[in-house]
Chain A
Amino acid sequence: MPMGEPAQEWTYGDLDATFAKCKVVYDDTFVHGSNSHHSMEPRSALAHWQNGKCIVYVSSQSQSFIVPPLAQMIGIPPSDLVVIAEYCGGGFGSKGNAYPIQALPALMSKKINRPVLLRISRAEEYYNGSARHGFQGRVKLGFAENGKLLAADLYVVQENGAYNSFWDFRNAGDALAMVYQPEAMRWRGVPVHANSPLRSAQRGPGYNQLVHIIEPLIDRAAHQLGIDRVAIRLLNDPVTGSPGGVKRTPTTSCYLKEAIRCGAKEFDWENKLAMCGQRKGSKGYGVGVGQAYHPAGFNGFDGLVRIAPDGKLHIHTGVGNLGTFSHSGTSRIAAEVLKIDWADCVVVRGDSRKHLPWNIGQFGSNTSFTMARTNFVAATDALNKLKEIAAQQFGGKPEDYDVDGKRVFRRGSPGTGMTYGQAAQRAIALGGKFDGHQLPEDINPMTRDSATALAGSGLIGVAKDKLKVGGETAAFAAAFVMVELDYETGKYTILDFVGVADCGTVIHPAGLQTQIKSGGIQGFGVAGLERIIYDPQNGLPHSIGFYQARPPTYGDIPLNMRTCAVDLPDPTSPMGTKGIGEPLLGSAASALLCAISNAMGGHVFNRTPVTSDMILNKLYNIPQAHGPLQTNCQ
Chain B
Amino acid sequence: MLKDMMPHFDLYQPNTLDAAVDLAGRLGTDGWLLGAGQDSYDWLKNRTKRTPAVIELAGIEALKGVREVDGGLEIGALTTLTEIEEHPVVRERFRVLSLAAGRVASPQIRNAGTLGGNLCQDARCWYYRYGVDCYRAGGNMCYADTPEGMNREHAILGASRCVAVSPSDTATAVVALEGVMVIRSTKGERLVPAADFFVQPAINIQRMTVLEPGEILVAVRIPAKWSGASYYFEKIADRAAWDFALVSIAAVFVFEGDLIKDASMVCGAVACVPWVLKGSQDELRGQPRTAETSDKAAWAAVVGAKPLHYNHFKLPLMENLVRRAIREA
Binding site for B on A (CB under 8 A): 119-123, 282, 488-491, 529, 533, 535-538, 540, 542, 546-548, 550, 552-556, 611-614, 616-617, 619-620, 622-623, 625, 633-634
Interface-side segment among B49-57, B241-249, B259-267? B241-249
Enumerate chain A residues within 8 angstroms of B4, measured Cβ to Cβ. Answer: 121-122
> Chain A residue with minimal CB distance to B314?
A613
Least Cβ distance of A541 to chain B in Å? 9
**How many of chain B's residues have a CB under 8 angstroms from any CB in A?**
35
> Chain A residue with minimal CB distance to B146?
A537
The 10 A-B residue pairs whose C-beta atoms are closest, nearest first, are A555-B240, A634-B152, A488-B320, A613-B313, A620-B316, A616-B313, A553-B241, A625-B310, A536-B148, A622-B312
Greatest chain A CB density within 10 A among B126, B313, B321 is at B313
Enumerate chain A residues within 8 angstroms of B239, measured Cβ to Cβ. Answer: 529, 550, 552-553, 555-556
Which residues between 88 and 122 of chain B lie within 8 Å of chain A, taking CB atoms? Answer: none
Is A535's CB under 8 angstroms from B150's CB? yes
> Chain B residue with minimal CB distance to A123?
B3
Given contacts A119-B1, A613-B246, contact A633 B149 (CB under 8 A): no
Is A550's CB under 8 angstroms from B152's CB? no
Enumerate chain B residues within 8 angstroms of A535, measured Cβ to Cβ. Answer: 127, 143, 148-150
Q: Render B214-252 as a binary contact track against A, CB cut-off 8 A, 1 for contact.
A: 000000000000000000001010111111001000000
Is B313's CB under 8 angstroms from A550's CB? no
Task: Provide the main secondary structure of the chain B interface.
Answer: loop
Contact of A533 among B143, B146, B150, B312 (CB under 8 A): B150
Is A529's CB under 8 angstroms from B317's CB? no
A-B contact pairs, 8 of them (CB 8 A): A121-B1, A121-B3, A488-B317, A535-B143, A548-B126, A620-B316, A625-B312, A634-B310
A387 to B310, CA, bound (A): 72
Least Cβ distance of A117 to chain B in Å? 10
Enumerate chain B residues within 8 angstroms of A537, measured Cβ to Cβ. Answer: 143, 146, 148-149
Is B320's CB under 8 angstroms from A489's CB? yes
Known: A535-B143, A552-B239, A613-B311. 11 other contacts (CB 8 A): A119-B1, A121-B2, A121-B3, A488-B317, A535-B150, A537-B146, A540-B130, A554-B241, A612-B238, A613-B313, A623-B312
A613 to B1, CA, bound (A): 35
Is A550's CB under 8 angstroms from B316's CB? no
Least Cβ distance of B295 to chain A in Å? 13
Q: Render B11-36 as a binary contact track against A, CB cut-off 8 A, 1 for contact.
A: 00000000000000000000000000
Enumerate chain B residues within 8 angstroms of A533, measured Cβ to Cβ. Answer: 150
A556 to B106, CA, bound (A): 13
Is A617's CB under 8 angstroms from B313's CB? yes
A586 to B291, CA, bound (A): 42
A536 to B143, CA, bound (A): 10
> Chain B residue with minimal CB distance to A620?
B316
Is A625's CB under 8 angstroms from B238's CB? no
Enumerate chain B residues within 8 angstroms of A546, measured Cβ to Cβ. Answer: 242
Least Cβ distance of A408 to chain B in Å? 55
Enumerate chain B residues within 8 angstroms of A548, measured Cβ to Cβ. Answer: 126
A276 to B76, CA, bound (A): 49
Enumerate chain A residues within 8 angstroms of B323, measured Cβ to Cβ. Answer: 488
Is A550's CB under 8 angstroms from B243's CB? yes
Enumerate chain B residues within 8 angstroms of A121, measured Cβ to Cβ. Answer: 1-4
Residue B324 lies at the interface, judged by CB distance under 8 Å to chain A: yes
Enumerate chain B residues within 8 angstroms of A547, measured Cβ to Cβ. Answer: 242-243
A554 to B309, CA, bound (A): 31
A611 to B243, CA, bound (A): 14
Least Cβ distance of B145 to chain A in Å? 11
A546 to B106, CA, bound (A): 13
Least Cβ distance of B167 to chain A in Å? 12
Least Cβ distance of B235 to chain A in Å? 10
Given contacts A490-B313, A619-B316, A634-B310, contact A612 B240 (CB under 8 A): no
Residue B210 lies at the interface, judged by CB distance under 8 Å to chain A: no
Greatest chain B CB density within 10 A among A556, A617, A622, A625 is at A625
Residue B300 lies at the interface, judged by CB distance under 8 Å to chain A: no
A619 to B324, CA, bound (A): 17
Enumerate chain B residues within 8 angstroms of A553, measured Cβ to Cβ. Answer: 239-242
Residue B137 lies at the interface, judged by CB distance under 8 Å to chain A: no
Least Cβ distance of A404 to chain B in Å? 53
Least Cβ distance of B197 to chain A in Å? 26
> Chain B residue with minimal CB distance to A120?
B1
Which residues between 289 and 321 of chain B lie within 8 Å of chain A, taking CB atoms? Answer: 309-313, 315-317, 320-321
Enumerate chain A residues within 8 angstroms of B241, measured Cβ to Cβ. Answer: 553-555
Enumerate chain B residues within 8 angstroms of A617, measured Cβ to Cβ. Answer: 312-313
Least Cβ distance of A538 to chain B in Å? 7
A374 to B127, CA, bound (A): 52
Contact of A542 among B126, B246, B316 (CB under 8 A): B126
> Chain A residue with minimal CB distance to B234?
A489
Residue B132 lies at the interface, judged by CB distance under 8 Å to chain A: yes
Least Cβ distance of B140 to chain A in Å? 15
Least Cβ distance of A44 to chain B in Å? 10
Given contacts A489-B236, A625-B309, contact A613 B320 (CB under 8 A): no
